[in-house]
Structure 1
Amino acid sequence: MSIRNLEYLFSPRSIAVIGATDRPNSVGATVMHNLTQAGFGGPIMPVNPKYDNVAGLPAFRDLSVLSTVPDLAIVCTPPSTVPGLIAQLGHIGTRAAIVLTAGSDTLFTGGVVNMQQAMLDAARPYLLRILGPNCIGLIVPGIGVNASFASATSLPGNIAFVSQSGALTTAVLDWAVSNHIGFSKFISIGNSADVDFGDVLDYLASDSDTRSILLYIESIKFARKFMSAARAAARNKPVIVVKAGRSAAGAIAAASHTGAMAGSDIVFDAAIRRSGMLRVDTTQDLFSAIETLSRAKPLHGDKLIILTNGGGPGVMAADALNLAGETPAVLSDETRRKLNAVLPATWSKANPIDIIGDAPVERYSKALSTLLGDGGSDAILFIHAPTAIVGSEDIALECASLIAASPRNLLGCWLGGQGVSAARHVFNKAGIPTYQTPEEAVQAFLHLLAYRRNQELLLEVPPSQPLDFLVDAPQVKKIVEDALRNRRRLLNEVQAKSVLAAYGIPVVETRVAETVEAAAELAQQMGFPVVLKILSSDISHKSDLGGVVLNLASVQDVRTAAQKMLDRFSQLRPDAQLTGFTVQAMINRPEAHELILGVANDETFGPFILFGHGGTAAQLINDRSVSLPPLNMALAKNLVASTRVFKLLQGYRGRPEADLSGLYLILIKLSQLVIDIPEIVELDINPLLLDEHGAIALDARISIAPSLLQGADRLAIRPYPRELEETFKLEKAKNSTVLLRPILPADSELYQRFLQSLCLEDSRNRFFYTLHRLPNSELARVTQIDYSREMTLVIIGRDKSGTDGILGEIRLVTDPDNRQADMGIAISTEFQRQGLGSKLLAKAIHYCRERGTANIIGTVLSENSRMLSLAKKFGFTLSSHHDGVVDICLDLNSSH
């Protein structure tokens, strides 16, 4: 739904407890005890006709006699009562409820509607928001709200924890209390019938009390809503996820290798990476990761240097790093020279850097100073094992000041117990991430590394239309429509290759023969050797049934192979309708790699792209990675680099590097195919041969189905809407062509220059105060937008310096319900009175109307006569405020 009325859930001023009781060990009694003991400052109203008082507070027999309308109601009554109570609460003006009750499948109205749906139907007319049902509840320590039946309360803090599992919620809460970890919000969403992860993430993203967000996820209902909210939240603060079911996820039932090789968990993992969040394996890792991310400095690369006073711990750290697929940084000659000058001759001369167990404080400080100044590394792992020669606390005190003054990341590891506790305290007090074992410290570095890489993926915004290649989408649509008209759900090999060829993907020439003799004749025309395959829309994996024969060298070989195929398939697949055979030239590229590229559909996140090691053993080797479309070159490279075969593709032992750029482009073309042709359910290219000369698809299969969705609507991530781009000429410079388009992450420098181009008056009119420069974090928020929920349109043209710049902008921020878009508009001072404001506003109105937004609103300074005049021109209604501002509103449902 949205964040509407969630303030009543997370920041209530009054609370009613329906089903409150003094009966020991009951939910109603536990909730009342938790509420009254948490220190809530507003009225708490127990509701139960059987009691005059509950937990020492006056009880109310029903909702009609409450002393005040509660902002929040907690419902802990039987399932049959819930829908009626929700209707009553909505009627009296309550706008949020926590339904602790289980039994959401209990049927109502003659066994047609269950409790959960009846509850939602009752809440809808009043926009009453519901947390649950079947949840533990909610804790907001900062305002003394413990609206839960958990056995423990929470300490105040700045971490928000959101969980689908009630049992895990209580366990984590108990663990956190014992480890002195506090929370800003502690939320159990249960069945998430209404308030779900997307809603909560939207709220927490702008919650000033929350600095980081932890999620325990079992399932996601609405992928695009979740991804949009997650990407918005991850731009503002760290979001860390643990998901149940990593190993239990089964393969997707599919006719393709792609579907069989990709279970739902690997697709979920791809979604988390693209959203800029960090996924960890365990709940313990959640808190370890948040400790790391909250204390660490920005990481810019993957080069780790290990500094230790013992060889063994250093090797353990290096092993942990290597097992995770990373390698320690290689020391430069300059760094070695500097270390030689401050370390004894017996130091390790390599990374890990062993400064020897007898190291005094000065040796630590000199070595650390050298490494902190080393531009060839991105982070340092400092490992110390206690000795009797020098105190650990003295070392910590000396090093902490050096670390604090450096922009470089340092992770501390103090091995031991009581003997290093004071040193750990020094590092902790200095804000240095500190761990007890080398493996934990390396895992922390890996979390930092994964988070940085995911944040980079978050910035990638591929377009909805191709930029660097041409496609023949109408030809593909015709092939698909013809097949569906004939009730075929699997394209034959020739049709599948025609689809690929229409998108510029190289395919081997393939011709069709209906009979054995026709196949032999075609083979002779094409030249030997050839490949013969059975042709049938009913058979997906031909090679599994002996339907592919390679290296046929003569007409007789073709005849013999073709007849054997017919005999074999009449026995093994008598139900299959055989169209004939395909004949293609035998491609002999001995240095080529066999790869698999594919498309399949995930039940939650929609289409995904798969890449991996191909051939007949693709499923056994199981070397694959997936990514959500849309793709660009950076995302395609990331997809390929996530596999083991990538190292082979880079060349080895004299074997040249394969055409990786060509491979990335093919993946982008597949991504575009998914966007353009929503009827494609699954697609396999296996094998795709790739060597230094390029790629060629030897076999392909595509399954199709009718689709109610169009274009990018199937995708979990909305692509850059290239269809909004428009060129036009400036009114006062007829030969000057400018481009109107959505803003891009790469526009950050242009936007900064645009702000500087505004005079004081124009800056104040746009922002209500003078603004000529944004900090990098705010600049990223403005340019790295989610096109599913906001839009900034800019006009790009030559500015006064003669370089491309932003001449004007209009920003639209739409509420999650798509009821209204809040507008802000500015034109570069130099380019005013050339119709740019009218052009931007007209485009914005058309855009909002197309996506069904109800209203465009804005706030304008009363002295901003030009903006007020523009608003009147486009039919906005104006209403003045006493504080010098005018509210403007355009009703898109009534205006024309």
Structure 2
Amino acid sequence: MTIRNLHYFFSPKSVAVIGATDRAASVGATVMRNVLQGGYEGELYPVNPHHDEVAGVPCYRNLDRLPQAPELAVICTPPATVPALVAQLGALGTRAVIVMTAGLDAPAKQGGTTLRQAMLDAAKPHVLRILGPNCVGLLSPRARLNASFAPAQALPGRIAFVSQSGAMVTAMLDWAGARGIGFSSFVSLGDCTDVDVGDMLDYLAGDPETQAVMLYLEGVGDAAKFMTAARAAARCKPVVVLKAGSAPEGARAAATHTGALAGADLVCDAAIRRAGMLRVHTAEALFEAAETLARTRPLRGERLGIITNGGGLGVLAADALAAGGGKLAVPGPDLLARLSAGLPATWSHANPVDIIGDAPAERYAHALQAMLDSDDTDAVLMLHAPTAIVPSVEIARLVAPMARSAGKPVLFCWMGGVSVAAARGVCGGAGLPVFDTPETAVDAFLQQVGYARNQRLLMEAPPAMHGSEVDAATARALVRRLLAEGTEVVPEAEAKAILAAYGIPAVETRIAHNVDEALAAAQAIGYPVAVKLRSPDVTHKSDVGGVVLDVAGPQALRVALDAIASRLARQLPHARLDGYTVQAMVQRPAARELFAGIATDPVFGPVVLFGHGGIAVEAIGDRAVALPPLNRVLAGDLVSRTQVAKLLGQVRQWPPADLDALCDALVRVGQLAADIPEIAEMDINPLLADADGVLALDARIRLDAARGGKLAITPYPRYLARRHQWQGETIEIRPIRPEDGAAHLAFFRALTAEDVHYRMFTSVASLSPSQLARFTQIDYAREMALVAVAERGGVAQTLGVARVVADPDHMEGEFAVIVRSDLKGQGLGRLLMERLIDYARASGLQVLTGMTLPDNERLLALARALGFKASPVQDGAVQLRLQLQAR
């Protein structure tokens, strides 16, 4: 379950407080007081067997005496009473319960299960949703409802706050109240036994009262559910996360460097980034980010223009921007000329634009308009220190309307106290972001930059590689054989064979079981060579002297092999020596040593790591994490988040490394993680990168058949692709891919205005980039678009599309189908719909629905032929409905 019945928490017409009392300092008394003081106007039913009245309100001895089933119930009674109360409420018809009680992990009296499980079992038959247990409660200012034991009321506003910590709820509520910050809702999730973070994100994504979401996160239960809900919410409105537990973790034992480096917080940070949300690290930044993102237009670039009436303020802002890795806009000749036309000759002639301390309001307006009109800036920060020459409020009254109607974000810093209070009020009243210092304003801008980057990552939907690019079958067969043999740590030669199956370049490596075979391998490869020991009991060969480089000839090779065997026997006398590997000695002096690999997170499953390589990889600790699958854009982002990325460009006499080859290798690593979940850890170290591409010198893989990790992000479902014979040609019907954008745009342009109107219920001449991305870059966990594609003249053409979008409960899906206008009436629409219905039924959807106009006779006839029932609805539309599963 996800959002089913959640609306009863936020807008209930009646509330029962079970365990209500007048006993001071009790939860029941506090909740009753808060509900009454909040001004709740619905029916209120205190329930307590020992009272006739609580807080002046008639009290009911038990649930059976209530005049009606409460839409929301708040339980404040001892743990042992909770399951029975939930069962009674479900039978009455209540569909939402807040359980404030803690201690439900105690055994139940019957059945040997816990009270928690007994509570869930009692709720399930009635689809009764439970918030908690062990929670502070919920505040819904829209309903004037404070169903919590928090010490303060919430002001009304447009931001939702959701927290996994009760203490954070009470602290944040008090903090926000002192600053006049309002909320659409304020939710304490407690133990998340039923309603969890994903459920709340799903609900708030569709809540018209919520403009932005703030989330205090301590942990994630179901990663796939969390990611799909977070991505859906982040597509609709800003979601800002304050994640606890960001302190570095101690290194854990692992068979690979990637396994040791993949800290849980690092993985969670990657998930937040990939979901299009923004992570902050302080409570104050949480509020500032939510306010800023909700009040400003989306960024289209990262160059900040700064206007100031004092050089010192501008320097502070520029320094903060540089320290945060931001970009200061560089004014071109046109912008410089435009600014000079309205500024005194002594202005700075650079960014920051110092318009001089005696600037009247009109000078601010001139500079602001010039920057807003220029393509040299993507956002503007206006800094002001008060002077006696012109009242700050006059400046604010002139520039606030300009900023409000601007096509790019404008931030304000009114620095000072009483003298700028009115100016702050003008800008704040206009819904513009206002800050007290240049540094906090720049921090807010950098948050926008990070958020915009994450939003771009959100739109990336990597396709799976095709058969010609990878040999997944060979890699899987090798992994199955190794597991059957009881192998956990894969020998180097076999590890490189797995890499080779996925097209990841690796140095030629041969297995030698004895000295003679080693000599023969070296002769075949050609000297100099590197030789390494093979032992299932040794993870890091260099730790026991098991690696010798630059072996120049046969005699040197005999000496090296003897030394390796002697060192192993001396340092690890019980370790087995299964032979050696011999490989070419690579001579690439300009190559940078990198590492790439796979680790398995207990929550998010397989992840890809990248960073600075070499024997000191763990000591350096330069790494970044990404959730697979990847594409080139996501791989490039992964690389950019490391320090070693700075070494990949031109470095003195070294030419730039081939970033395309590096990103391609990381994409293949991500595909390997997606295809073979039995790979618990993989380490390619070093991975050499230079102008000639990348090359894996060493590879280490650990297998675990029991830890096959489920991907947190649903990969491209290539199994749905199928070829069909249609009208004498072969076409393919498959899930849409991001790279279908150009073909999809051409398909849309081939539609008649009438067909567009039937599909979109309005007249649309073309698709915007965001609309095109929305249609082609989908979350396959919630949505499916099957496209009919034909190869004509060497070009893939989209002939038709059938789409279904599931509700968050995955109970009902809304479909749409459209065929290119010149191909109608040839059976393609029916073929697409039959495939879509098969998919929807197999995915577990119960019902398929759609809306059309009454004069769309072709679709109505097709739908009826496929078993849909047509029913007129309001606004003159017709609803189509098909029952997919037996009731």
Question: Aligned AA for 1:14?
Answer: S
Question: Aligned AA for 2:692?
Answer: H
Deviation digits for residues 790-813 of structure 1, max 9, x if unmatched? 2222335699xx998754332212
**Residue 146 of structure 2: SS of its match in structure 1?**
strand
Deviation at 1:886, TM superposition (A): 6.4
CA distance in 2, matches of 1:348, 1:235: 41
Task: State the number of aligned residues.
Answer: 887
338-347 or 117-126, larger mean C-alpha shift: 338-347
- Correspondence for 2:863: 871
737-746 or 233-242, larger mean C-alpha shift: 737-746
- Correspondence for 1:841: 833
Matches within 5 A, 1:240-389: 240-251=240-251, 253-340=253-340, 342-344=342-344, 346-389=346-389
Cα pair distance change 1:73/1:607, threshold 3 Å: same
Deviation at 1:671, TM superposition (A): 1.1
CA distance in 1, matches of 2:582, 2:748: 63
CA distance in 1, matches of 2:357, 2:398: 17
- Correspondence for 2:597: 598
Question: Aligned AA for 1:741?
Answer: R
Deviation at 1:726, TM superposition (A): 4.1
324-333 or 663-672, larger mean C-alpha shift: 324-333
- Correspondence for 2:236: 236
Matches within 5 A, 1:498-517: 498-517=497-516
- Correspondence for 1:533: 532
- Correspondence for 1:724: 720
**Residue 813 of structure 1: SS of its match in structure 2?**
strand
Deviation digits for residues 211-258 of structure 1, max 9, x if unmatched? 111100000001111110111111111111111001154455421101
Question: Aligned AA for 2:833?
Answer: L
Deviation at 1:777, TM superposition (A): 6.5
CA distance in 2, matches of 1:790, 1:675: 20
CA distance in 1, matches of 2:455, 2:421: 34
Question: Aligned AA for 2:476?
Answer: K
Residue number among 778, 782, 787 corresponding to 2:780 in the alignment: 787
Question: Aligned AA for 1:185?
Answer: S
Question: Aligned AA for 1:608?
Answer: V
Cα pair distance change 1:371/1:771, threshold 3 Å: closer
Cα pair distance change 1:740/1:252, threshold 3 Å: farther
Q: Is 2:606–2:677's contact at 8 Å kept on the other side of the alignment? A: no
Cα pair distance change 1:505/1:762, threshold 3 Å: closer
- Correspondence for 1:198: 198
Matches within 5 A, 1:409-428: 409-428=409-428
Q: Is 2:277–2:455's contact at 8 Å kept on the other side of the alignment? A: yes
Deviation at 1:450, TM superposition (A): 0.6
**Residue 161 of structure 1: SS of its match in structure 2?**
strand
Q: Is 2:611–2:623's contact at 8 Å kept on the other side of the alignment? A: yes
Question: Aligned AA for 1:623?
Answer: D
Cα pair distance change 1:775/1:12, threshold 3 Å: farther
Deviation at 1:38, TM superposition (A): 1.9
Is it true that 1:580 corresponds to 2:579 in the alignment?
Answer: yes
- Correspondence for 2:665: 666
Question: Aligned AA for 1:854?
Answer: Q
Q: Is 1:252–1:264's contact at 8 Å kept on the other side of the alignment? A: no
Deviation digits for residues 335-360 of structure 1, max 9, x if unmatched? 34444555455544433333343444
- Correspondence for 2:567: 568
Deviation at 1:297, TM superposition (A): 1.9
Deviation at 1:893, TM superposition (A): 4.1
Cα pair distance change 1:211/1:567, threshold 3 Å: same
Q: Is 2:789–2:798's contact at 8 Å kept on the other side of the alignment? A: yes
Deviation digits for residues 294-331 of structure 1, max 9, x if unmatched? 22222111111223233322222222122222342233
Matches within 5 A, 1:132-211: 132-211=132-211
Deviation at 1:775, TM superposition (A): 7.6
CA distance in 1, matches of 2:201, 2:216: 13
Deviation digits for residues 579-635 of structure 1, max 9, x if unmatched? 111111211111100000011111111111111110011112221111111111111
469-478 or 62-71, larger mean C-alpha shift: 469-478
Question: Aligned AA for 2:710?
Answer: R
Question: Aligned AA for 1:9?
Answer: F
Q: Is 1:295–1:431's contact at 8 Å kept on the other side of the alignment? A: yes
Q: Is 2:49–2:61's contact at 8 Å kept on the other side of the alignment? A: yes
Q: Is 1:755–1:772's contact at 8 Å kept on the other side of the alignment? A: no
Matches within 5 A, 1:745-756: none
431-440 or 131-140, larger mean C-alpha shift: 431-440
- Correspondence for 2:481: 482
**Residue 284 of structure 1: SS of its match in structure 2?**
helix
Deviation at 1:727, TM superposition (A): 4.9
- Correspondence for 1:42: 42
Deviation at 1:551, TM superposition (A): 1.7
Deviation digits for residues 806-844 of structure 1, max 9, x if unmatched? 543322122333333232333344322111121111111
Deviation digits for residues 829-869 of structure 1, max 9, x if unmatched? 43221111211111112212332333334456666554444
Question: Aligned AA for 2:82?
Answer: V
Deviation digits for residues 431-467 of structure 1, max 9, x if unmatched? 3322111110110110110111111011111013438
770-779 or 585-594, larger mean C-alpha shift: 770-779
Q: Is 1:250–1:264's contact at 8 Å kept on the other side of the alignment? A: no
CA distance in 1, matches of 2:483, 2:673: 17
Matches within 5 A, 1:455-854: 455-466=455-466, 470-706=469-705, 714-728=710-724, 730-731=726-727, 734=728, 738-744=731-737, 766=759, 781-796=774-789, 807-854=799-846
Provide the alpha-carbon RMSD of the alignment: 2.9
Question: Aligned AA for 2:645?
Answer: F
303-312 or 88-97, larger mean C-alpha shift: 303-312
654-663 or 430-439, larger mean C-alpha shift: 430-439
Is it true that 1:80 corresponds to 2:73 in the alignment?
Answer: no
Deviation at 1:397, TM superposition (A): 3.6
CA distance in 1, matches of 2:66, 2:561: 84
Q: Is 2:459–2:773's contact at 8 Å kept on the other side of the alignment? A: no
CA distance in 2, matches of 1:390, 1:837: 68
Deviation digits for residues 515-574 of structure 1, max 9, x if unmatched? 345434533443322212111122221122222122222333322332222222223223
Deviation digits for residues 45-81 of structure 1, max 9, x if unmatched? 1111111111212211111221101111111111111
CA distance in 1, matches of 2:501, 2:261: 26
CA distance in 1, matches of 2:876, 2:339: 66
Is it true that 1:855 corresponds to 2:847 in the alignment?
Answer: yes
Deviation at 1:365, TM superposition (A): 3.8
In structure 2, the gaps of 5 or more residues are none
Cα pair distance change 1:768/1:107, threshold 3 Å: same
Q: Is 1:522–1:583's contact at 8 Å kept on the other side of the alignment? A: yes
Q: Is 1:379–1:408's contact at 8 Å kept on the other side of the alignment? A: yes
Cα pair distance change 1:556/1:764, threshold 3 Å: closer
110-119 or 471-480, larger mean C-alpha shift: 110-119
CA distance in 2, matches of 1:338, 1:857: 56
What's the TM-score, normalizing by structure 2? 0.94
Deviation at 1:738, TM superposition (A): 5.0
- Correspondence for 1:92: 92
CA distance in 1, matches of 2:700, 2:93: 57
Q: Is 2:606–2:674's contact at 8 Å kept on the other side of the alignment? A: no
845-854 or 437-446, larger mean C-alpha shift: 845-854
CA distance in 1, matches of 2:112, 2:68: 36
In structure 1, the gaps of 5 or more residues are none
Question: Aligned AA for 2:699?
Answer: A
CA distance in 2, matches of 1:346, 1:760: 57
Cα pair distance change 1:803/1:93, threshold 3 Å: same
Question: Aligned AA for 2:143?
Answer: I
Q: Is 1:464–1:723's contact at 8 Å kept on the other side of the alignment? A: no
Identity %: 51
Q: Is 1:318–1:327's contact at 8 Å kept on the other side of the alignment? A: no
CA distance in 2, matches of 1:773, 1:136: 49
Cα pair distance change 1:615/1:403, threshold 3 Å: same
